[in-house]
């Protein structure tokens, strides 16, 4: 499978509708605080070169307000795909699925700062064009607090499936170092999708708190 050409995104398969991601999150409507609780750790058992990013496949259980989701995989985009108040250096996507197959992506926007120890492990274990067994826990990549933006969108890589619940956390606690970002970009030079039209979709924002089980 050839890598996606991020310099010619207009050539991507485009059988999609009017609720695409990522979007500009500014001008959002204030909402009540939202709590996310990791009920079972986000454990990764396989690290995969999927030609777009480093995919970390695993399992876990997450409660977001009143809804329960199963964690299935995580991956990184550099630079960040969503636009909040400030442009961020990178963006983690923690992909979840409900019991009936609905998708939710918990995204964490990362400013530059100190390196994440788990990111060093991810980069050290990476083998190009391969799938490797690993044992990693990603709970430390969820910040204790921040601002969360919620809206309905799509996957940001083909097939660009819509109907995805987005839960985007802008924060300053979890950061990526310039060296980590550079190492990642040596593997994947630019893997962020351009901003998509909002098309009058409602975006809610409010305080984010990480709950304890």
Distance CA 139, CA 137 (A): 6
pLDDT at 13: 78
Q: What are the structure tokens assigned to 149, written together? A: 């933006």
Distant-in-sequence, close-in-space partners of 100: CB < 8 Å, separation ≥ 6: none
d(CA 34, CA 127): 37
H-helix or E-strand spanning residue 186: helix 178-187
| pLDDT at 84 (0 to 100) | 93
pLDDT of residue 15: 67
* Tokens standing for residue 194: 């351009």
Beta bridge partner(s), residue 63: 37, 68
74: nearest Cα among 59, 61, 87: 59
The pLDDT assigned to 170 comes to 97
Question: In whole angstroms, how large is the CA radius of gyration of the chain?
Answer: 16
- Token pair recorded at residue 130: 């391969």
Q: Is 8 exposed, middle or buried (0-12, 13-18, 19+ CB in 10 A)?
A: exposed
Name which of 56, 139, 154, 148 is nearest 104 in CA terms: 154
Q: Dihedral, CA atoms, 66, 70, 71, 72, nearest 10 degrees?
A: -150
User: What gap in Å lies between CA 157 and CA 155, rounded to an integer?
Assistant: 6
Cβ atoms within 10 Å, residue 43: 15
| Confidence check: pLDDT of 48 > 90 | yes
| pLDDT tens-place string over residues 160-207 | 999 999 999 999 999 999 999 999 999 999 899 999 999 999 999 999
pLDDT of res. 17? 84
């Amino acid at each position: 499978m050839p890598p996606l050409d991020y310099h010619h995104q207009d050539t991507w398969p485009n059988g999609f509708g009017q609720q695409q991601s990522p979007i500009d999150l500014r001008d959002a409507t204030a909402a009540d605080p939202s709590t996310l609780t990791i009920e079972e750790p986000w454990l990764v058992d396989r690290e995969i070169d999927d030609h777009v990013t480093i995919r970390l496949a695993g399992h876990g259980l997450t409660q977001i307000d009143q809804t329960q989701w199963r964690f299935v995989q995580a991956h990184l985009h550099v630079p960040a795909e969503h636009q909040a108040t400030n442009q961020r250096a990178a963006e983690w996507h923690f992909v979840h699925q409900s019991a009936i197959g609905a998708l939710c992506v918990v995204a964490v926007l990362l400013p530059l700062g100190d390196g994440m120890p788990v990111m060093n492990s991810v980069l050290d274990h990476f083998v190009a064009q391969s799938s490797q067994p690993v044992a990693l826990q990603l709970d430390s990549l969820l910040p204790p607090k921040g601002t969360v933006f919620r809206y309905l969108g799509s996957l940001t890589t083909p097939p660009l499936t819509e109907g995805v619940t987005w839960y985007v956390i802008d924060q300053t606690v979890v950061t990526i170092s310039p060296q980590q970002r550079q190492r990642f970009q040596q593997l994947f030079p630019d893997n962020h999708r351009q901003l998509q039209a909002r098309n009058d979709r409602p975006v809610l924002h409010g305080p984010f708190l990480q709950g304890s089980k």
